[in-house]
Structures are given as C-alpha cells and as structure tokens.
C-alpha cells in the first residue's frame, strides 16, 4: 500500500512529525496507534495509506514500528459543560 503517490505537503508533515516531534532514532520501538473510526467516516482522519506512510518513515529511520488499530468509542458531538464551573 505504501507505493501510492505521497503529496509533497504530506511528506513534509510526516518527516517533521517523525524528526522534530517524535524524534525517532535508529533502534527504537515505535508504537503507532491509529483509530479505526476514521476508516468508517468518523471524526478521526486516519486512513490506511497515511498510516502506511508513517510506518515506512519510521522504518527508514532505522526504528521498528508497530501499528495498532484501535476501535474508538462513540463520543457525543457536543461536550456538555453544564455541570462545570460557571464563568
């Protein structure tokens, strides 16, 4: 699946995430937690191709990726803050 064309902006974002945010180094074990919800039209934007590109990026840095697809529970569309402090 990683053979699909990756847009340049996506490559920049993934490289920045792996190098500057996660600071992935050779020999590390990297857990990638992806939400199945995004595959079924939910609010999460994960898709199999993007996760594949991230996994490949981790491998290219000499680290060992593990991907776990998690089924996210349904959340309300509106957060009820009626019981919180009044401002």
CA angle 54–58–64, rounded 5-degree value? 125
- Which whole-number Å values give the CA distances from 80 to 15, 44, 76, 85, in the listed order? 37, 20, 9, 12
Give me the mean pLDDT over the 31-59 stretch: 81
46-81, pLDDT tens digit by residue?
688 899 999 999 999 999 999 998 876 666 666 666
Query: Given this model, what pLDDT does residue 35 score?
Result: 80
Residue with more model confidence, 21 or 81: 21
- Domain residue limits, the chain: 29-71
17-19-24-25 Cα dihedral, nearest 10 degrees: 170
Q: Which residue, chain included where needed, has tokens 């309300």?
A: 76
């Amino acid at each position: 699946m990683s053979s699909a064309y990756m847009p340049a902006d996506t490559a920049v974002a993934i490289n920045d995430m792996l190098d500057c945010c996660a600071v992935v180094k050779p020999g590390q074990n990297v857990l990638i937690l992806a939400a199945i919800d995004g595959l079924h039209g939910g609010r999460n934007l994960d898709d199999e191709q993007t996760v594949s590109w991230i996994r490949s990026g981790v491998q290219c840095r000499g680290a060992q990726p593990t991907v776990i697809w998690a089924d996210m529970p349904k959340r309300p569309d509106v957060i009820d803050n009626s019981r919180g402090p009044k401002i």
